[in-house]
């Protein structure tokens, strides 16, 4: 059956390439109306005075929506931008534009599912059909070798079964053109950050990359990292780095908003393996994408447990809720340089390396004993690559209430600093007030004597804080 008009509701799939929802709509309808809806529930203050979506994240989103609009215009269409609750605004738009169906990508977590359900029910009452499509993962949900309820709890088992029994599907075709109705349609403006009560972020120029939202930017990064700079062949050895654009792919912000498709990355890896080299590193990038899939399927399996204190474990409440300590952690004022450097990077750029995330998360939950959900909510606000499943499930994992088969995943911060920032360059980059402390000593200013501190221009409790916990001495 061919529809006359379909609305495609874009969510975290802000791309034209490999977009099943869009390509199915183009196939099934004479005319397609792409829509994005800025939902006020994604903004504003949450617990502890945090923003649900901070300004760096919101800026990246705005850029991605804006680029989607430009890409749709190149195909002869446009993007209708709405503000409000999608479950209300989109069916209303469908009625006013006489669209017969709404197509959208499926999400797995509660807030998003509630919106889907409400939208489906309102649309149904108005006689409008709805259809959702599975999009976010490398492996399609229908191709998994187990039902979602039996998703293996341990990553290795999940990975091995998927690798053995699933094939990554080919990408969906990119439409050559889109038939947009030739009627008067109010296109709507992309809002300014100030409309969400957010300030324009300042660019310090210190970030690992100038992250800019949008499909072309994501595809450009893929081209640069794989083909122009040939970094993929060394990925496994460099991926635990901290400084610079190319120790890891930095695909995550574009993946999170769907500006890049994981399948697009996968098939580019396969092409690279044919045309350049196939080695442990090329495999490892796909391995990491499987982690991403795993957390999405685990989130679907466990529902709201991933947001609850005990996670998927039967543990009792053993957490502290000390706001003053929490804000010292969040603001990068713990007096532990490796933690502070990472938090300062997050606060000023919206990005942090995987190694950094593991360390600061472990510090919050293990050294400070603070409720892990506060940390997850803080990351939700700040990370430009915030992905509900990857974020909350990684936090559960570090907090010991998730799927890690090992008990107590403690990261010794000084040892980690020594392994990954031996000369202290990373800390020096983010904490200039410690800049004169030489070598690895920059990781432990609290062990320097008075004359050393004076020589390096450091005043503990003055220009740099005393440590809020005593660190295990590391030699
Ligand atoms: C506490 C904590 C919170 C995190 N929150 C997020 C989040 O909100 N969004 C997010 O995308 N990642 C999150 N991660 C995972 C990981 O840190 C980032 O995906 C990675 O650092 C992004 O950098 P990259 O793209 O250069 O990664 P690369 O090393 O180049 O990896 C390639 C891709 O694999 C995926 N990937 C890699 N590691 C993981 C992982 N541990 N879990 C899930 N996917 C992974 C990402 O999509 C990444 O872009 C979190 C990790 C921790 C420990």
Query: What residue owns the CA closest to ligand 1's atom 3?
Result: 391
Q: Beta 101-105 vs 129-133: how paired, if at all?
A: parallel
Asked if residue 387 has its Cβ within 6 Å of ligand 1, the reply is yes
Instruction: Using CB atoms within 10 Å of the CB of residue 85, give its burial: 0 to 12 exposed, 13 to 18 middle, 19+ buried.
Output: middle
Q: Is the CB of 260 under 6 A from ligand 1?
A: no
Cα separation, 45 vs 54, whole angstroms = 10
Q: Answer yes or no: are the C-beta atoms of 448 and 370 closer than 8 Å.
A: no
Cβ contact 108:389 at 8 Å: yes
CA of 390 to the centre of ligand 1 (A): 7
> Which of ligand 1's atoms lies nearest the C-alpha of 295?
43
The residue whose CA is least distant from atom 5 of ligand 1 is: 391
464 within 8 A of 435, measured Cβ to Cβ: no
Q: Is the CB of 411 under 6 A from ligand 1?
A: no
From ligand 1's centre to the CA of 106, what distance in Å? 21
| Alpha-carbon 129 to chain mean position | 31
Q: Which atom of ligand 1 is the closest one to the Cα of 285?
A: 32
Which token pair is 261? 């498709």
Q: With a 6 A CB cut-off, is 291 part of the ligand 1 pocket? A: yes
pLDDT of residue 473: 60
Q: Is 385 in the pocket of ligand 1 (CB under 6 A)?
A: yes
> Helices 86-96 and 110-125 meet at what angle, rounded to 10?
30
- What is the CB neighbour count within 10 angstroms for residue 312? 16
What's the Rg (C-alpha) of the chain? Answer: 23
Exposed (0-12), middle (13-18) or buried (19+): which is 97, by Cβ within 10 Å?
Answer: middle
Q: Which residues are bridge partners to 133 per DSSP?
A: 105
Which residue out of 211, 221, 252 has the highest number of ligand 1 atoms within 8 Å of its CB and is therefore the one to mutate? 252
Taking the C-alpha atoms of residue 339 and residue 357, their distance in angstroms, rounded to an integer, is 9
Nearest atom of ligand 1 to the alpha carbon of 385: 9
- Please measure the distance between the N-terminal and C-terminal CA atoms of the chain and give it in whole angstroms: 71
- 8 A C-beta contact, residue 12 and residue 262: no
| 164 burial level (CB within 10 Å; 0-12, 13-18, 19+) | exposed
Asked if 236 and 284 count as a contact pair (C-beta separation under 8 A), the reply is: yes
3-state secondary structure of 231: coil
Give pTM, 2 decimals. 0.98
Residue 221 near residue 250 (C-beta atoms within 8 A): yes
221 lines ligand 1 (CB under 6 A): no
pLDDT in the model for residue 403: 78
CA of 265 to the centre of ligand 1 (A): 15
Q: Find out whether 135 and 105 touch, Cβ atoms under 8 Å.
A: yes
CA of 352 to the centre of ligand 1 (A): 9
Spatial separation of the C-alpha atoms in residues 44 and 90, rounded to whole Å: 22
Handedness of CA 7, 11, 15, 19 (dihedral sign): negative
Look at residues 259, 249, 243, 240 and name the one whose alpha carbon lies nearest to residue 282. 249
Residue 339's alpha-carbon distances to 41, 214, 236, 378, 462, in angstroms, are 31, 30, 24, 15, 18
Q: Are 37 and 82 in contact (CB under 8 A)?
A: yes
Instruction: Identify any residues that bridge with 102 across adjacent strands, giving them in sequence order.
Output: 7, 130
Tokens at residue 67, please? 């680029």
| Distance (Å) from CA 385 to ligand 1 centroid | 8
Q: How far is the CA of 255 from the centre of ligand 1 (A)?
A: 10
Residue 355 in contact with ligand 1 by CB distance below 6 A = no
101-105 and 80-83 beta bridge pairing: unpaired
- For residue 242, how far is its CA from the centre of ligand 1 (angstroms)? 14
Nearest CA, atom 47, ligand 1: 252
What was the pLDDT predicted at 474? 58
The pLDDT score that the predictor gives to residue 314 is: 79
| Token pair belonging to 215 | 């499909």
Question: Using a 6 Å cutoff on CB, does residue 401 contact ligand 1?
Answer: no
Asked if residue 79 lies in contact with residue 38, where contact means CB atoms within 8 angstroms, the answer is: no
Determine how β-strand 29-38 pairs with β-strand 80-83. parallel
Query: Which pLDDT score, from 0 to 100, does residue 315 have?
Result: 74
CA of 357, closest atom in ligand 1: 53
Please give the chain's pLDDT, 475 residues, in tens.
799 999 999 999 999 999 999 999 999 999 999 999 999 999 999 989 999 999 999 999 999 999 999 999 999 999 999 999 999 999 999 999 999 999 999 999 999 999 999 999 999 999 999 999 999 999 999 999 999 999 999 999 999 999 999 999 999 999 999 999 999 999 999 999 999 999 999 988 999 999 999 999 999 999 999 999 999 999 999 999 999 999 999 999 999 999 999 999 999 999 999 999 999 999 999 999 999 999 999 999 999 999 999 898 877 678 999 999 999 999 999 999 999 999 999 999 999 999 999 999 999 999 999 999 999 999 999 999 999 999 999 999 999 988 777 766 789 999 999 999 999 999 999 999 999 999 999 999 999 999 999 999 999 999 999 999 987 665 5
How far is residue 389's CA from residue 62's CA, in Å, rounded to a whole number?
22
With a 6 A CB cut-off, is 390 part of the ligand 1 pocket? yes
């Amino acid at each position: 059956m061919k529809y006359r008009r379909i609305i495609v509701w874009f969510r975290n799939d802000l791309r034209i390439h490999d977009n099943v929802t869009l390509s199915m709509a183009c196939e099934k309808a004479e005319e397609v109306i792409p829509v994005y809806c800025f939902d006020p529930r994604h903004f504003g203050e949450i617990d502890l005075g945090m923003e649900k979506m901070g300004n760096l994240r919101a800026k990246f989103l705005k850029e991605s929506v804006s680029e989607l609009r430009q890409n749709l215009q190149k195909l002869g269409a446009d993007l209708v931008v709405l503000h409000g609750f999608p479950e209300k605004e989109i069916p209303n738009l469908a009625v006013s534009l006489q669209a017969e169906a709404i197509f959208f990508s499926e999400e797995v977590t509660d807030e998003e599912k509630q919106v889907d359900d409400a939208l489906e029910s309102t649309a149904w009452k108005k006689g409008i059909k709805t259809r959702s499509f599975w999009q976010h993962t490398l492996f399609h949900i229908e191709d998994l070798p187990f039902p979602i309820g039996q998703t293996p709890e341990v990553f290795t088992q999940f990975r091995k079964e998927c690798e053995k029994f699933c094939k990554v599907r080919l990408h969906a075709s990119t439409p050559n053109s889109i038939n947009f109705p030739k009627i008067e349609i109010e296109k709507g403006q992309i809002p300014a950050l100030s409309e969400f009560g957010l300030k324009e972020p300042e660019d310090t120029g210190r970030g690992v990359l100038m992250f800019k939202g949008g499909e072309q930017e994501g595809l450009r990064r893929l081209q640069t990292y794989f083909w122009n700079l040939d970094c993929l062949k060394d990925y496994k050895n460099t991926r635990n780095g901290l400084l610079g654009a190319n120790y890891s792919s930095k695909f995550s912000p574009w993946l999170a908003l769907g500006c890049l498709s994981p399948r697009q990355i996968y098939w580019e890896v396969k092409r690279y393996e044919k045309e350049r080299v196939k080695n442990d590193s090329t495999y490892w990038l796909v391995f990491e994408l499987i982690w991403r899939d795993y957390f999405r399927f685990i989130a679907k399996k466990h529902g709201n447990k991933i947001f609850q204190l005990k996670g998927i474990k039967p543990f009792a409440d053993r957490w502290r809720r000390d706001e003053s300590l929490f804000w010292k952690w969040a603001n990068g004022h713990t007096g532990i340089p490796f933690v502070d450097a990472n938090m300062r990077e997050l606060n000023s750029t919206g990005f942090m390396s995987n190694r950094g995330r593991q360390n600061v998360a472990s510090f919050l939950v293990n050294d400070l004993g603070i409720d892990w959900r506060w940390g997850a909510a803080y990351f939700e606000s700040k990370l430009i690559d915030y992905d509900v499943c990857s974020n909350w499930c990684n936090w559960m994992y570090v907090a010991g209430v998730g799927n890690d088969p090992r008990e107590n995943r403690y990261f010794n911060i000084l040892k980690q600093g020594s392994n990954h920032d031996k000369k202290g360059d990373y800390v020096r980059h983010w904490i200039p007030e410690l800049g004169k402390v030489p070598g690895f000593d920059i990781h432990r200013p609290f062990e320097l004597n008075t004359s050393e501190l004076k020589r390096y221009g450091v005043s503990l409790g003055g220009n740099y804080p005393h440590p809020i916990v005593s660190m295990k001495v590391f030699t």
